[in-house]
Amino acid sequence: MTGRKVLELRTGQVDVWLTSLSVLGDSQQLAYLRILPESERAKWQRFAVRSARLQYLLTRVLIRTTLSRYAEVPEAAWQFETNRYGRPHVSHPPEFRGIEFNLSNTDGLVTCAVSRNREIGIDIENIGRALDADALAPTVFAPKELADFRRTPSETRRIRFFSYWTLKESYIKARGMGLSIPLDAFWFELGGASPLLRVTDRCPDVPERWRFFQYTPTDKHRMAVAVTTPWGVEPSIQLRWVTPMSLDQDEVAALELRGLQQ
């Protein structure tokens, strides 16, 4: 801990922290490894591919440094447990179990969404990664999403794919149930002021309790955030770029992003 001012997480507030893999020099990596417990360092060492090792390291450091912005807890002191579907949550210190978070990483970027006492999920994707959208769409989209995807002009179809994909990923992550929720058991309607969730009886839920936000943090990335509205409080999303444990980390600029309407 650096004695920095503790940030407040107000009702309805959702902070999304983003960091670039380009910040990771050798000295930074050594500093990051020092705050990881032995179990996480051991997992880091098992990654054979350098890019995967860097993503894992930065992801673990981002969640620890981010949580310590909202509580006077040393970065290394946080402990986590997972539910039966593998979703992590704070287990120690117990008084901060009400802080909800979700992580996502892709080529070039790592992100963490934080809120309090509400379900939250985030997904970020590099739209340039090797992927056959036309072949993959029938396996991950509900019929109405697939029909809309196939109607989309070829020059923008890939963007449409990632619009749907990040939304679906953010939702199943927010539910904390992962792929136990069939991907064709719910779908999204795009084109309005914000994405709308629709569900079938294979995905029991109340769509009206959810809000979804889409962003373009860089020209290579698409991101979606899913968040519930307990007590009817509408979420307020703020995006922050940060270099974890940098000297100027308390001076990061908060950027209000416009939603990506597709």
pLDDT in tens, 14-56: 999 999 988 777 788 888 999 999 999 999 999 999 889 999 9
- In sequence order, what E strands does the chain have? 13-20, 79-82, 88-92, 99-106, 109-116, 120-126, 186-189, 196-199, 210-218, 221-228, 236-241, 254-255
CA pair distance 73, 107, nearest whole angstrom? 30
Give me the half-sphere count of Cα atoms (radius 13 Å) on the Cβ side of residue 257: 23
User: How high is the pLDDT of residue 26?
Assistant: 79
User: How high is the pLDDT of residue 21?
Assistant: 87
User: How high is the pLDDT of residue 199?
Assistant: 98
Say which DSSP state 250 is in.
Answer: G
CA pair distance 132, 4, nearest whole angstrom? 46
- In the predicted structure, residue 160 carries a pLDDT above the cut 70: yes
Confidence of residue 258 (pLDDT cuts 50, 70, 90): very low
| Mean per-residue pLDDT, 193-202 | 97
- In the predicted structure, residue 100 carries a pLDDT above the cut 80: yes
CATH numbers and ranges of domains, the chain: 17-244 (3.90.470.20)
Q: Are the C-beta atoms of 41 and 61 separated by less than 8 Å?
A: no
CA pair distance 39, 237, nearest whole angstrom? 33
Q: Note the pLDDT tens digit of each residue in 74-85.
A: 999 999 999 999
Lowest mean pLDDT among 88-97, 106-115, 248-257: 248-257
Helix (H, G, I), strand (E, B) or coil at 144: helix
- In the predicted structure, residue 169 carries a pLDDT above the cut 90: yes
**Closest Cα partner for 106 from 61, 160, 52, 147?**
52
